[in-house]
Amino acid sequence: MVFVIMAPAQSMAVQDKVAEFAHAMKERFSHNYLKFSSVNLMSLISWAASGAMMFGGVVPYIPQYYDIYTTSNTDGFSTYVCFALLAANILRILYWFGHPFELPLFLQSVIMIIAMLVMLELCVRIKRGNEFTAKRRKFSDFDWTYFWNWTHFADYMQFLMVFSLLGSILTFTLSNIPVYMETLGFISVFTEAMLGLPQFYRNYKNRSIAGMSLKMVAMWFCGDTFKTGYFIIKEAPIQFSICGSLQVSIDIAILYQAHFYNRPKPLSKD
């Protein structure tokens, strides 16, 4: 049996090599761990933002739905808000098939359509119960004097089906024309940006915000601000960012109405 006796200098050199190797491995592990943690954190933030985009749009309508359901009164809410959102999101889905964009925005449109149909069904049912007219207003009458003011929910569904079918045929036919697709995208986001105008006009006409959920408008403002920032960060088509900014401006105008119409009225002098 042969024993190899190492000189002290050689032993120190080996120890230094081992220590250097251990330090390098530690540094590499720490770097990879931090990199992995950073990636996971960014992924988590991205998923959270996408989830907020998909479901956050319907949250503002929950308090308004509850108010209408509990009071059986739709006077403070304009169903044209539902019309604007339904039309805008149907057009956005058509635009997506010809010009794909962020998947969360597509899913947001699907979820919003479902939510607005639920909201519209409640409003139509309650309004019909509060009316005492015997004449049924039908979509098939094609009388534009009571457009979007039909008696039964089925008539609204008929209109939306016709609207979707015609839009699908037109988009399928003209999908290869860039001008058409960009115009379609602009109309979809511009229509959504205008969704607050019917509510603004109703408040102005009534000189009151009675029946309107202030929580809904406050959530509009927060959601639209977040959405516009999301459009900018995700580099969505430019029309999304422009119309998002317009939507925030209308939200601010409605919030000002809430402040203006709730001001204490000055005492009249006798």
- The 10s digit of each residue's pLDDT in 50-73 is 777 788 888 888 988 999 999 998
Assess if residue 190 is contained within a domain.
no
* pLDDT score for 22: 57
Claim to verify: residue 51 and residue 170 sit in the same structural domain: yes
Name the amino acid, one letter, at 28. Answer: R
Gap between the Cα atoms of 238 and 229, Å rounded: 12
Claim to verify: residue 142 and residue 61 sit in the same structural domain: yes
Assess if residue 14 is contained within a domain.
no
Assess if residue 186 is contained within a domain.
no
Phi/psi at 58 (5° precision): -90, -15
Over residues 121-153, the pLDDT tens digits come to: 999 999 988 877 667 888 988 888 889 999 999
Assess if residue 49 is contained within a domain.
yes
Claim to verify: residue 158 and residue 130 sit in the same structural domain: yes
Full residue range of the structural domain in which residue 135 is found:
43-176
Q: Which residues of the chain have pLDDT under 50?
A: 1-4, 33-34, 36, 267-270
Q: Give the predicted TM-score (pTM) of the model.
A: 0.72
